Amino acid sequence: MWLPTPIYERIPQFYFLAGLLFITDGVYLGFDFSISFFYIGLGLACCVYGTTLYFMRKTYRQARPAADATDAPAADPVPESPAIGGESVA
């Protein structure tokens, strides 16, 4: 499934924000309710997943240009110039 770039780039931030909201809801309800522990656990899981996803993408993007540079054919940076005055180019 293809997602537009702005949405795809914000997914880790969405997970982290959702995690913070779940943690806030769990604390707001108080520890008298058993569901508050579920909210806090789910919030921590979302925060960890969002952070992990962010750093995995960052690491992949930093490693990718180095891998692409080795796959590309080497180009001659200086084109050969014709010999001046009949001299041979060595």
As for how many domains the chain has, the answer is 1
pLDDT digits (tens, 9 = 90+) for 23-47: 999 999 998 988 999 999 999 999 9
The domain in which residue 12 lies consists of 5-60
Percent composition of the chain: helix, strand, coil (DSSP 3-state, to 5): 70, 0, 30
Q: Give the pLDDT score at 65.
A: 74
In a domain, 17, yes or no: yes
Give 17's pLDDT tier (boundaries 50, 70, 90).
very high
pLDDT digits (tens, 9 = 90+) for 50-72: 999 999 999 998 988 765 555 55
Q: Give the pLDDT score at 1.
A: 82
Q: Where are the alpha helices (DSSP H) in the chain?
A: 5-29, 35-71
In a domain, 83, yes or no: no
